């Protein structure tokens, strides 16, 4: 099985059950009369990884839910205290591991993989959120009544009731406390220690040729004392292939490098397998190259792959950070200049002029006037098309269109009073990393039979990033300012200067050239028409016109819709899939167990 699952019945019908994988070194379990504790993953307690479940059970008896504070590393944890009728669930601070649950009058069910929970009706709001974000962000699940924990959260079940709580959140300190040289030394020590902790057994590294993966590949070779084994995916399509940078890093660090050029046929063959492996609809297409990378590593005898995920979010590496810093400059202009001079000129006197420079200036001001984080959604595909143009009227009536932006606002303003870069970091740690990139890599690796590890997301690295001054993450518009300076002697200059690319896939271009992949995609969209979620006329416009005009841009929506239908098919969801508006939601919860 793919993890841990279990249940506890309400006090009036006592009973519990637990299922765990067999012979997995990531599992620690402790049983005693009336209590069972399980740690799934690579956890520590008070700095030690020994007898984890036994020590966690002791901490639970002494401190209750506060025991979660003592857990470190990457894990999903649970305690079922049958004697007191209580249960505790928790996941790690980055959300590397997941915990899904549903609770109600009939008790609590939980699982690290949502497919282990009883399936019910699809949640229309979750499907809408998928189309908006291309994933289903926590805390919602794909089925009504199901939820999952956010990073650093726990759930306490007692007296038949469930209470969520936070045991950890990123706490930013924005003032500089130490000289650069001292922080550089601390940073390098933390990276080496995190890689060392991931380096047991047969270990390899994803290598895209970017700063994160190259850093880890170099550190892995340094720590192990032998050439690291590295794995890269290429694309024989102009503008998508990054293999030259991966080869540069491999030569620089003298790794035992392996590479594979992905084809449209590979993608078509893998799509059903990937859709079946995802416990919820998942629309990030780079899961395919991640999967083929993991497959290549497994065939080479690798049991664990380390990935550079988290480096962008912790050290200011996303291009949108620089773009939003440019927009923020407009906000700092005196309001009199903006409202009495610039805006009347651009939208009034010169509003009808069609000069290129004026068009760019108007576009800049229009975006700058949007508040954060709504400004980040300027390029959102669903917003660009318009939900009413994409989705059935009946489906729209069942959802709250404002909900996605409300979620983003709530997360963004939890860090109120901090610099823009740190508020964006807090947002990305949840929505870009925990809900998206980590799910991509962990699912791809699990499907290939390889464990995934993320050294940049060690607890020490999270703490280091929290105390790194904002200007060391984004210096003006210069990304990764501290990170790149700290690694000047470690990384090749060309890699330090390259722009981020990663494992982006030329799906839209392949739709134009590969009949097999196109047939799979368009047949999936044809089947999706009957589910009364997406308007048939929008699907026709998308496939017959839009994707031909701009394959890369509109091909993303084809992928998102195709993977939704593939997920529905692979998980045997009958049509129309989502109950129409006005159907009462029944209380979710597990059936009583003897």
Q: What percent of the chain has pLDDT over 70?
A: 94
577 falls within a domain: no
The DSSP output letter for 254 is T
Q: Among 313, 366, 241, which Cα is nearest to 474's?
A: 313
Whether residue 503 is predicted with pLDDT greater than 70 in this model: the reply is no
Domains held by the chain: number: 3
Beta carbons within 10 angstroms of residue 476's beta carbon: 11
Residue 354 covered by a domain: no
Is residue 151 within 8 A of residue 313, CB to CB? The reply is: no
pLDDT at 577: 67
Tell me what pLDDT residue 310 has. Answer: 97
Confidence of residue 354 (pLDDT cuts 50, 70, 90): low
Q: Which residues contact 71 (CB under 8 A, 6 or more apart)?
A: 39, 43, 44, 45, 56, 77, 90, 92
Give pLDDT, residue 349. 55
| pLDDT tens, residue by residue, 147-174 | 999 999 999 999 889 999 999 999 999 9
Domain identity same for 185 and 259: yes
Predicted local distance difference test score (pLDDT) of residue 579: 56
Q: First and final CA of the chain: distance in angstroms?
A: 23
Mean pLDDT for 265-292 is: 97
Mean pLDDT, range 233-255, rounded to an integer: 93
Tell me, what's the pLDDT at 13? 80
Specify whether the backbone of 566 is left (phi greater than 0), alpha (psi in -120 to 50) or beta: alpha
CATH number at residue 82: 3.60.20.10
**pLDDT band of 388, cuts 50, 70, 90:** very high
- Show the CA angle centred on residue 153, arms to residues 150 and 157, nearest 5°: 115
Could you tell me which residues are beta bridge partners of residue 25? Answer: none
Q: Which helix (H) or strand (E) holds 306?
A: strand 304-306
Residues 557 and 475 occupy one common structural domain: no
Based on the fold, state whether residues 136 and 248 are members of the same structural domain: no
Shared domain check, 26 and 116 = yes
User: Distance (Å, rounded) from C-alpha 143 to C-alpha 101?
Assistant: 11
Q: Which among 497, 520, 540 is the end of a domain?
A: 497
The answer to whether residues 265 and 207 belong to one domain is: yes
> Is 302 part of any domain?
yes
pLDDT at residue 590, as a whole number: 39
Nearest CA to 542 out of 527, 563, 530, 559 is that of 559
Question: Residue 322 falls within a domain, yes or no?
Answer: no
Residue linked to tokens 């380096």: 199
161 with 184, same domain: the answer is no
Q: How confident is the model at residue 254 (pLDDT cuts 50, 70, 90)?
A: very high
> Do residues 234 and 127 share a domain?
no
Instruction: Give 479: exposed, middle or buried? Use CB within 10 Å, 0-12, 13-18, 19+.
Output: buried
Within a domain: 356 = no
Is residue 461 a part of any domain in this protein? yes
- Report pLDDT for 592: 32
- How many Cβ atoms are within 10 Å of 121's Cβ, its own excluded? 16
- pLDDT score, position 342: 76
Spatial distance between the Cα atoms of 418 and 422, rounded to a whole number of angstroms: 6
Q: pLDDT tens for residues 7-34?
A: 999 887 888 999 998 888 899 999 999 9
Do 189 and 298 have their domain in common? yes
Rg of the chain taking only CA atoms, in angstroms: 25
Cis amide leading into 239 (omega within 30):
no
Q: In the structure encoding, which two tokens stand for residue 484, read together?
A: 């790149």
105: in domain = yes
The whole-number average pLDDT for the span 587-591 is 37
Alpha helices in 199-277 (DSSP H): 211-224, 243-253, 264-277
pLDDT score of 159: 87
- Specify the residue for token string 């009504």: 144
Is residue 131 domain-shared with residue 218, that is, in the same domain?
A: no
Write out the residue range of the structural domain in which residue 444 sits. Answer: 180-316+424-497
The domain that contains 459 carries what CATH number?
3.40.50.620
Residues 453-499 have pLDDT tens digits of: 999 999 999 999 999 999 999 999 999 999 999 999 999 999 998 87
Kindly state whether residues 479 and 518 are assigned to the same domain.
no
Same domain, 28 and 148: yes
Q: Is 459 within a domain?
A: yes
Regarding whether 517 and 491 lie in a shared domain, the answer is no
């Amino acid at each position: 099985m793919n993890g841990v699952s279990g249940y506890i019945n309400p006090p009036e019908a006592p009973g519990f059950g637990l299922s765990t994988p067999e012979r997995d070194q990531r599992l620690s379990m402790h049983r005693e009369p009336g209590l069972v504790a399980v740690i799934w993953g690579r956890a520590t307690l008070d700095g030690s990884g020994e007898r984890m479940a036994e020590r966690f059970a002791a901490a639970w008896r002494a401190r209750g839910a506060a025991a979660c504070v003592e857990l470190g590393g990457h894990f999903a944890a649970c305690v079922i205290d049958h004697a007191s009728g209580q249960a505790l669930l928790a996941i790690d601070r980055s959300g590397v591991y997941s915990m899904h649950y549903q609770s109600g009058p009939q008790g609590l069910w939980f699982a690290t993989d949502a497919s282990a929970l009883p399936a019910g009706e699809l949640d229309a709001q979750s499907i809408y959120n998928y189309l908006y974000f291309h994933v289903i962000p926590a805390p919602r699940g794909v089925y009504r009544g199901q939820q999952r924990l956010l990073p650093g959260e726990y759930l306490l079940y007692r007296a038949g009731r469930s209470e969520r709580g936070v045991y950890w959140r990123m706490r930013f300190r924005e003032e500089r406390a130490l000289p650069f040289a001292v922080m550089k030394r601390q940073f390098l020590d933390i990276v080496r220690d995190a890689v060392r902790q991931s380096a047991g057994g047969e270990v390899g590294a994803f290598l895209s040729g970017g700063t994160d993966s190259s850093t880890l590949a170099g550190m892995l070779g340094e720590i192990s004392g032998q050439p690291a084994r590295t794995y890269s995916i290429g694309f024989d399509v102009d503008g998508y292939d990054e293999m030259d940078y991966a080869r540069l890093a491999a030569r620089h660090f003298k790794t035992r490098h392996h590479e594979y050029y992905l084809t449209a046929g590979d993608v078509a063959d893998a799509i059903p397998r990937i859709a079946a492996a995802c416990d919820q609809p998942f629309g990030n297409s780079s899961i395919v190259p991640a999967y083929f990378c993991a497959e290549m590593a497994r065939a080479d005898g690798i049991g664990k792959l380390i990935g550079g995920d988290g480096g962008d979010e912790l050290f200011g590496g996303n291009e949108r950070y620089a773009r939003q810093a440019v927009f923020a400059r407009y906000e700092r202009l005196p309001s009199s200049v903006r409202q009495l001079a610039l805006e009347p000129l651009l939208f009034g006197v010169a509003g009808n002029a069609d000069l290129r420079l004026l068009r760019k200036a108007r576009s800049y001001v229009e975006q700058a006037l949007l508040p954060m984080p709504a400004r980040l959604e300027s390029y959102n595909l669903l917003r660009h098309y318009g939900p009413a143009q994409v989705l059935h009227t009946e489906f729209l009536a069942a959802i709250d269109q404002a909900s996605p932006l409300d979620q983003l606002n709530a997360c963004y303003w939890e860090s109120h009073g901090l610099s823009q870069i740190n508020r964006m970091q807090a947002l990305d740690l949840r929505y870009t990393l925990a809900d998206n990139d980590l799910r991509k890599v962990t699912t791809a690796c699990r499907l290939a039979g390889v464990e995934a590890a993320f050294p940049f997301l060690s607890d020490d690295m999270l703490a280091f990033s929290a105390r790194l001054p904002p200007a060391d993450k984004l210096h003006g518009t210069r990304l990764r300012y501290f990170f790149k300076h700290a690694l000047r002697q470690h990384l090749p200059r060309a890699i330090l200067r390259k722009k981020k690319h990663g494992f982006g896939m030329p799906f839209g271009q392949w739709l134009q050239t590969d009949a097999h992949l196109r047939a799979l995609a368009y047949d999936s969209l044809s089947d999706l028409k009957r589910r009364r979620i997406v308007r048939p006329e929008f699907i026709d416009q998308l496939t017959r016109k839009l994707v031909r005009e701009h394959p890369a841009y509109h091909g993303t929506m084809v992928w998102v819709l195709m993977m939704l239908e593939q997920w529905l098919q692979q998980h045997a969801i009958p049509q129309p899939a989502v109950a129409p508006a006005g159907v009462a939601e029944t209380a979710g919860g597990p059936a009583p167990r003897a």
